[in-house]
């Protein structure tokens, strides 16, 4: 079992660490308020916060037939009219995807329940599908809502739902899988990338599981799930040492009850929230904890976030911020909303995290993969735009961040608490003091100082 963090180690720094990793960071007041609750009440509060259902209304989208199906439907059109109709549909899909990204970024930034949205972000990279192949924003929205509904609950139910998810069905070409011609690729990806990890199944397991998922379809018109009995292989199947006329749901249950499934999912959760792949001894310990808790993700995260292992020196402030974490955490520290319109989504795309379009079925690589010489320079430049309030960005209220008349040492303490949740490292504190002594206390100088602090390697870590 994981070791619980001793009560005497529940410090403001520990509270800030949980806010940074479980959500998207917090202001000094939010950190202080969370710390005052006590460790377990604080984590329970984070995991159970509510949200008004109409607070973030989703874009009004409907499933489309797709260009090919639409052209087949409109047989009376000549080629020029078909080309024009295709361009119109592609433009509408791009606009809808833009609205979808803007909606989710706004929700992540402003929701009263950021822990759930952070979990949705994790699962978006785990059950990775892309609008570039799915091509229907309605399906991507539908999947996003499924991720939200299941993000903090039992994994087994979640896994069943995802085999029936229209975006996943289209992305992995399950819609044409039928008896006699099962889609083995779907079964392989489901085991290798979504539930067990490479090497923990046999080729026979893949073939037999693929037979169980035949007949899974997208319902025309509604865009929901439809089961086609005539296309389903209802014969006897044998996998993981068991035999029977297994359905798709029963195969999911067999997979999820494999001991390696808990290890695999718990390890991916650890990597996302703690910032490193766990060594095998820790992976087995995490998997054991996940199984003990019935593979309930919310309960597991509560135990993980309050463990000594999660608060160790090799975890705290050692994770490279993902583009989403960098943008939303920066805005939270500056106490501003993300840039309006498509600007925020464009920033994330430039930094390497294009929402609703992960690079492949494996999702995004984490850690050092987020940083290159070009993206690091871009982060520094974008930090300046956010601090100054350039373009569509809101202008931060400097009187809240660094009040006029603050002494040099007090300014270092305030800046360290807000932007690093800890005292500034000695070298950075020395540079900050030198800047304060050599410059006036004007608004421009304070903005320049904050920009300089955000343009350091230390700020890229959380």
What are the φ/ψ torsions at residue 225 (nearest 5 degrees)?
Answer: -90, 145
- Of 191, 183, 196, the closest CA to residue 231 belongs to 183
Identify the pLDDT of residue 86.
76
The DSSP result for 332-356, as a single string, is: HHHT-PPPTTTHHHHHHHHHT--TT
Instruction: Tell me the whole-structure pTM to 2 decimals.
Output: 0.96
The total number of residues shown for the chain amounts to 462
Identify the pLDDT of residue 73.
57
pLDDT tens for each residue of 52-91: 877 999 999 988 755 455 545 566 777 777 777 778 888 8
pLDDT tens for each residue of 268-300: 999 999 999 999 999 999 999 999 999 999 999
The residues of the chain scoring below 50 in pLDDT are 67, 71
- Of 177, 172, 87, 160, the closest CA to residue 130 belongs to 172
> Residue 86 corresponds to which tokens in the numbers above?
């295709």
Identify the pLDDT of residue 51.
86
pLDDT tens for each residue of 449-458: 999 999 999 9
Identify the residue whose tokens are 């699962």: 123
Identify the pLDDT of residue 171.
98
Identify the pLDDT of residue 65.
53
């Amino acid at each position: 079992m994981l070791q619980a963090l001793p009560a005497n180690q529940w410090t403001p720094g520990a509270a800030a660490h949980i806010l940074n990793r479980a959500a998207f960071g917090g202001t000094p007041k939010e950190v202080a308020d969370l710390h005052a609750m006590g460790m377990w009440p604080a984590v329970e509060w984070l995991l159970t916060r509510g949200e008004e259902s109409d607070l973030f209304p989703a874009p009004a989208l409907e499933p489309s037939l797709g260009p090919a199906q639409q052209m087949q439907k409109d047989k009376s059109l000549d080629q020029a009219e078909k080309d024009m109709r295709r361009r119109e549909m592609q433009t509408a899909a791009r606009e809808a995807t833009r609205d979808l990204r803007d909606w989710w970024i706004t929700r992540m930034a402003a929701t009263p329940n950021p822990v759930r949205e952070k979990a949705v972000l994790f699962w978006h990279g785990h059950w990775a599908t892309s609008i570039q192949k799915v091509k229907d924003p309605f399906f991507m929205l539908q999947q996003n809502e499924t991720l939200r509904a299941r993000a903090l609950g039992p994994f087994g139910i979640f896994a069943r739902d995802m085999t029936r998810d229209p975006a996943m069905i289209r992305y992995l070409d399950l819609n044409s899988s039928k008896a006699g011609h099962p889609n083995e690729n779907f079964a392989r990806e489901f085991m290798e990338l979504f539930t067990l990890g490479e090497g923990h199944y046999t080729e026979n397991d893949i073939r037999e599981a693929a037979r169980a998922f035949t007949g899974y379809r997208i319902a025309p018109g509604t865009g929901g799930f439809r089961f086609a009995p005539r296309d389903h292989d209802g014969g006897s199947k044998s996998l993981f040492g068991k035999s029977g006329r297994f359905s798709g749901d029963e195969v999911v249950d067999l997979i999820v009850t494999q001991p390696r499934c808990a290890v695999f999912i718990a390890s991916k959760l650890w990597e996302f929230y703690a910032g490193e792949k766990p060594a095998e001894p820790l992976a087995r310990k995490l998997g054991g904890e996940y199984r003990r808790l019935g593979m309930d993700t919310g309960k597991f995260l509560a135990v993980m976030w309050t463990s000594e292992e999660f608060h160790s020196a090799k975890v705290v402030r050692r994770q490279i911020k993902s583009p989403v974490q960098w943008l939303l955490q920066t805005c939270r520290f500056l106490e501003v909303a993300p840039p309006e319109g498509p600007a925020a989504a464009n920033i994330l795309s430039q930094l390497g995290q294009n929402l609703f379009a992960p690079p492949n079925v494996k999702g995004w690589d984490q850690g050092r993969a987020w940083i290159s010489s070009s993206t690091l320079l871009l982060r520094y430049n974008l930090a300046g735009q956010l601090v100054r309030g350039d373009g569509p960005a809101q202008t931060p209220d400097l009187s809240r961040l660094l009040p006029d008349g603050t002494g040099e040492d007090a300014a270092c303490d305030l800046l360290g608490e807000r932007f690093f949740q800890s005292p500034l490292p000695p070298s950075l504190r020395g540079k900050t003091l030198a800047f304060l002594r050599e410059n006036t206390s004007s608004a421009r100088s304070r903005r320049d100082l904050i920009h300089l602090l955000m343009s350091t390697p230390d700020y890229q870590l959380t």
